[in-house]
Amino acid sequence: MNEELLKEIGLTEGEGRVYMTLLKLGETKTGELAKEAQVSSSKVYKILDRLEKKGIVGHVLKGEVKYFSPMNPKTIINYIEEKEKNLGEKKKEILYLIPQFEAILNKSENKSQAAIYEGFKGVTNLFKNILFELKKGEEYFVLGGTYGDIKGLRDFFYKHHLNRADRGIKLKMLANHETRGNIEPTTKKKAEIRYLPNYLETPMEIVFYKNKAFIILWNSEPVGFLIQNPEAVASFKKYFNAFWRIAKT
């Protein structure tokens, strides 16, 4: 558990293992440390060098032998703060470059293209992009809205629609019948929602706006298929309008 947390703040698996072992052993030579941490002798020197550069491990010389020991665990906070400072500087650099990146992207927006996104984060990022790409008063469409049994999906959409409404972006949704009376409350903000009949329910969800559409299969490993093509969006809009007429409020 502790090693997992150390990985999350930027240490490698080997660094986390060596650091935790040093905490248990205290001041020690590399031979015993490598054995206890279950890393090779050749790797332990490189790992210790990186940990020293991070400021969370130190050493002393006794004769010609190096003994390593962990610094006060509070130095981990210093390491995190330094990372945050560096990230802040990198963020400023990226913010400066974003207009250039967007200019490159805009040149390709009229070209038809497709891409596949896998996993919860990859697929939900498609919805985050909507908030970047639509302006206040603009609208996107959803056909087949559902939650399934995906862990964290309800919480994601609760926050997504809260942010969407704050930005003034509208939603027109044809949700699955199963979500009637059970839809996340923020979904209703700045939105028109109708419900598909039972026989049209599906774990697949189609979302479209402007010249983009993406099809999502919500299962244990979500998959999203993004299409950038105005003709495809126009076709989805025809299906949406047809189903909208038979859907119930």
Q: Where in the chain is the domain with CATH 1.10.10.10?
A: 2-76
Strands 212-217 and 191-195 turn out to be unpaired
Tell me: pLDDT of 58 over 80: yes
Q: Where in the chain is the domain with CATH 3.30.870.10?
A: 107-246
Q: Enter the tokens of residue 137.
A: 């008063």
- Give the gyration radius of the chain's Cα atoms: 26
Summary mean pLDDT of the chain: 87
- Whole-prediction pTM value? 0.59
CB–CB of 97/103 below 8 Å? no
In whole angstroms, what is the distance from residue 134 CA to residue 157 CA?
A: 17
For 164-176, write each residue's pLDDT tens digit.
Answer: 999 999 999 999 8
CATH topology of domain 107-246: Endonuclease; Chain A (3.30.870)
Give helix 153-166 / helix 119-133 axis angle, nearest 10°: 10
In whole angstroms, what is the distance from residue 213 CA to residue 215 CA?
A: 7
Give me the helices (H) in the chain, please: 2-8, 13-25, 30-37, 41-54, 75-108, 119-133, 153-166, 230-246
What mean pLDDT do residues 57-76 have?
86
Q: What is the CATH number of domain 2-76?
A: 1.10.10.10
Tell me: pLDDT of 111 over 70: no
In whole angstroms, what is the distance from residue 63 CA to residue 113 CA?
A: 65
